């Protein structure tokens, strides 16, 4: 009998989450639907990262920049974080926008929840590189961690939206190049299947608070350099997943990309990979990365921290050090 994924429902919805959902639907969704994605508009997407860089950083963590091969990264270490392991984080943003600054509070919270440092990666995005270029940067960051002495069984990949895609794509690329797989993967509202038709046919295509399915074909065209039909192996869900590590997938109940998480969970389980899928009601796409905006983001990050520590056995390591 085929194995089934562990599916967990989170049904409590805070007042803050209801407000965020309403604002996203009424204000953000019209902009996301009508705003152009073109060579002249893409430079403006960087304004979001620039604005986020002006925010006050959480004082309970330290931040140390790293220069890698053609891109930047940042070590984020919460107070009292140990070196039992590390979280390698890939930010979301549709491969077009966001970066270290936009996701700094969430990654700092993951460091605090897991008790481990995190390396946040500003991989190259469109229009500089297409999808393989982003994956190559993420694999470089993994090689960097290995060169710093981190054992693969002490490294967990994590990411939201496009970053969730990169978490799995990087692990698959590592296997293809003969590198060891990480200890685990966390994917928050991940985009894992570039087949747009599945999203158009799903009821959530009309229910998503702000992520419009209409924009996906254009993005896929850009990500794949206009190759039609798109190579199925650019979608992590279509790979042989038997070498993948234990995984945690978190998705909003009404988001467009929920079907990607469900499909990946089914295929991971069928491949014999331990996987937990959490479906959270009343939330928006990538809500778990919106730390400080709504309490559900903090609760989801605590779930991530618990998964990371269980996966690398950090609690056991701490107990042995104390004995």
Q: What is the pLDDT of residue 56?
A: 92
* Percent of the residues in the chain that have a pLDDT greater than 90, as a whole number: 87
What is the spatial distance between Cα 129 and Cα 43, in angstroms, rounded to a whole number? 14
Count CB-CB contacts under 10 A for residue 305. Answer: 21
What is the C-alpha separation between 35 and 69, in angstroms, rounded?
33
Asked whether the predicted pLDDT for residue 322 surpasses 90, the reply is: no
37 pLDDT band, cuts 50/70/90, is confident
Of 255, 261, 296, 303, which one is the catalytic site residue?
A: 255
Rounded distance between C-alpha atoms, residue 136 and residue 36, angstroms: 27
Which class is domain 6-314? Answer: alpha beta
Rounded to two decimals, what is the model's pTM? 0.95
Token pair listed for 158? 């994590």
Confidence of residue 301 (pLDDT cuts 50, 70, 90): very high
Point out the catalytic residue in the list 49, 247, 285, 303: 285
User: Among this protein's residues, is 74 annotated catalytic?
Assistant: no
Q: How confident is the model at residue 319 (pLDDT cuts 50, 70, 90)?
A: very low
Per-residue pLDDT band for 3 (boundaries 50, 70, 90) equals confident
| Selected catalytic residue, list 134, 161, 189, 235 | 161
Tell me the domain boundaries of the chain.
6-314
Q: Is 303 a catalytic residue?
A: no
Span of 172-186, 193-207, 237-251 with lowest mean pLDDT: 193-207
**Known catalytic membership, residue 91:** no
């Amino acid at each position: 009998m085929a194995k089934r994924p562990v599916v967990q429902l989170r049904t409590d919805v805070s007042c803050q989450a209801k407000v965020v959902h309403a604002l996203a639907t009424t204000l953000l969704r019209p902009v996301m639907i009508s705003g152009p994605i073109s060579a002249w508009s893409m430079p403006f997407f960087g304004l979001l990262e620039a604005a986020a860089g002006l925010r006050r950083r959480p004082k309970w963590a330290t931040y140390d920049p790293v220069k890698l091969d053609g891109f930047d990264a940042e070590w984020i270490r919460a107070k009292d974080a140990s070196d039992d392991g590390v979280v390698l984080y890939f930010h979301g943003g549709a491969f077009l926008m966001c970066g270290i600054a936009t996701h700094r509070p969430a990654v700092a919270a993951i460091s605090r929840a897991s008790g481990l440092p995190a390396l946040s990666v500003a991989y190259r995005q469109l229009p500089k590189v297409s999808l393989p270029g982003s994956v190559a940067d993420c694999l470089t960051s993994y090689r960097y961690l290995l060169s710093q002495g981190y054992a693969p069984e002490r490294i967990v990949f994590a990411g939201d939206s496009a970053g969730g895609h990169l978490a799995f794509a990087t692990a698959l690329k590592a296997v293809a190049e003969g590198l060891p797989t990480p200890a685990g993967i966390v994917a928050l509202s991940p985009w894992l299947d570039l087949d747009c038709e599945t999203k158009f046919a799903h009821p959530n295509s009309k229910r998503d608070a702000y992520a419009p399915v209409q924009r996906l074909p254009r993005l896929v065209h850009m990500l794949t350099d206009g190759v039609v039909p798109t190579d199925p192996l650019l979608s992590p869900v279509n790979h042989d997943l038997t070498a993948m590590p234990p995984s945690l997938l978190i998705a909003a109940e009404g988001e467009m990309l929920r079907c990607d998480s469900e499909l990946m969970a089914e295929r991971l389980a069928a491949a014999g990979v331990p996987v937990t899928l959490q479906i959270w009601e009343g939330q928006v796409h990538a809500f778990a990365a919106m730390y400080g905006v709504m309490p559900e983001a903090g609760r989801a990050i605590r779930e991530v921290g618990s998964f990371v520590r269980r996966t690398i056995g950090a609690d056991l390591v701490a107990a042995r050090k104390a004995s």
